[in-house]
Homo-oligomer: A and B are copies of this chain.
Amino acid sequence: MVKGHLDRIAIKGKEKERSEKLGITIKKEEDSAEWYAQVCEKGDLAEYAPVKGCYIIKPYGYKIWENIQTYFNKELKRMGISNAYFPLFIPESFFKREAQHARGFSPEVAWIANREEESERIAVRPTSETIMCDSFARWVRSWRDLPLRINQWCNVVRWETKATKLFLRSREFLWQEGHCVYETESDCDRETLVMLEKYKKLAEELLAIPVIYGKKTDREKFAGANYTMTIEAFMPDGKALQLGTSHNLGQGFMKAFNVSFLGKDGEAHVPWHSSWGFSTRLIGAAVLMHSDNKGLVLPPRIAPNKVVIVPIIFDETRSKVLAACDEVRQMLAELDPILDEREEYTPGWKFNNWELRGIPLRVEIGPKDLETHECVLVRRDGGKKQYIKIADIKEAVLVELEEIQHDLFAKAKKVLDGSITPVQNWAQFVDVAKERRLILAAHCGDMACEETIQEQTGGVTTRCVPFGDEKIKRAQACVHCGKPSKYCVYFSKSY
């Protein structure tokens, strides 16, 4: 084995050269799925794992997740929400206690084969409502213990049968799940919305992704929830992507797990309960939204590296150019820039390579620049090139990073706003659905009607009922069945 293995080394070397020369070999407009996979893999974010339905988050991709965690942990701390850790394993009987929840999750639960003396099956957590509520019954005793607010960062497993898509769909993924218990329904309602707003802020300010947001219809809500709120992005390929959800779970789990508290009135009461979560899918969303046919484009606030410095090396000026590069590196030290001094690659190869990886800014320094004490600053997102005095480089870099963050959001917002298409009747609905736009239409709210729409359009589903539009649209007729409408709702295909 080792012999044959060593023989393959030379071939591996050639393969490397070929693949790296080629960059992204397919256009976003031609085959969005293949383009996406190449951007993630060649951009060094992730790769498929040898076990079905799973993938590996490589260091470059994981750093994006850490940046998201750092941002969100600060938000959590500000709200007095603590991190904790609950077991991966959940007894089967826990799922059975909340009937809707059990029905919703049963098709996709993974079970442990080791049984021994155990009398019941053990599930690998698909989500942690049940096991947390079992603890909450011990932790919550009086109104003084409320609100109780817990978050955990962990892996969860849902035994998907559809094809894996890096970050977007997999059997295991990383996420955060928050679980809160409140004295009153209105406390619960209020914070369910507060968390949704935190998610919207995260998507827009950190990932530069504009979202639509509102309530899910009953057909699309979380298994066991009174209602679910969602933030959703609309991708350039005409499909929506759910980015985060916040659920008011009412009192169902509380009753099922005997959670109660002594109120200020000295009486026993059943509290209210919410949960909210987002996952590593956020990374996939940022990739899909911003990247182009040269590879990754990353918003500066999540980019693992903000700047790369590439020297243009000729033998006679090598040391001067490298000294200038090092000077710039030190000036930008707090941004932790990469200085790519490798001798075995040409500057052109390096440009392509760092573009593949989506580093927001590139600084080029060559012998001619030294004569004018300048360097070249190039933006990844639009390719804008500027000559900057070396003495001014730090300020210029900070300004450009903010502008890139702003411009990526503005560009995506324009796409989203331009995609929303109000629709008045079914014929129009069918046409617009074919164009893969984000449809806004009145609907009766009937689950069977929603299902028929999905069947007749090859998979168009409701995304959310935007806030404020519920009552306004009641006067209209349902876009499909013509009955009086309950609300106005977004429709589209989705990831």
Contacts and interface: CB of A to CB of B under 8 A. Distances in A.
Interface of A: 1-2, 5-10, 12-13, 16, 47, 49-52, 54-59, 61-63, 65-66, 82-91, 94, 110-114, 116, 118, 121-122, 124, 131, 134-135, 138, 141-142, 144, 150, 154-155, 157, 159, 161, 171-172, 174, 255, 258, 260-262, 268, 270, 344
Nearest to A255: B2
B131 A260 contact: no
Contacts of A150: 59
B260 A157 contact: no
A63 B51 contact: no
Contacts of A1: 255, 258
Given A9-B262, A13-B141, A50-B131, 11 more contacts: A13-B262, A47-B135, A51-B89, A51-B91, A54-B88, A56-B87, A112-B112, A112-B113, A112-B124, A113-B113, A124-B124
Contact of A62 (B5, B54, B84): B84
A40 B7 CA distance: 56
Contacts of A154: 155
Contacts of A65: 85
Contacts of A13: 141-142, 262
| This protein's copies in its complex | 2
A30 B174 CA distance: 43
Contact of A82 (B63, B91, B122, B155): B63
A185 to B, nearest CB: 17
Contacts of A270: 2, 6
Nearest to A89: B51
Given A51-B122, A113-B111, A56 B135 contact: yes
B172 A56 contact: no
A124 to B, nearest CB: 7
Contacts of A56: 84-87, 135
Nearest to A344: B144
Nearest to A304: B82
B174 A51 contact: no
A262 to B, nearest CB: 6
A163 to B, nearest CB: 13
Contact of A118 (B52, B135, B172): B52
Nearest to A263: B9
A83 B59 contact: yes
A145 to B, nearest CB: 10
A88 B50 contact: no
Contacts of A16: 141
A333 to B, nearest CB: 14
B142 A90 contact: no
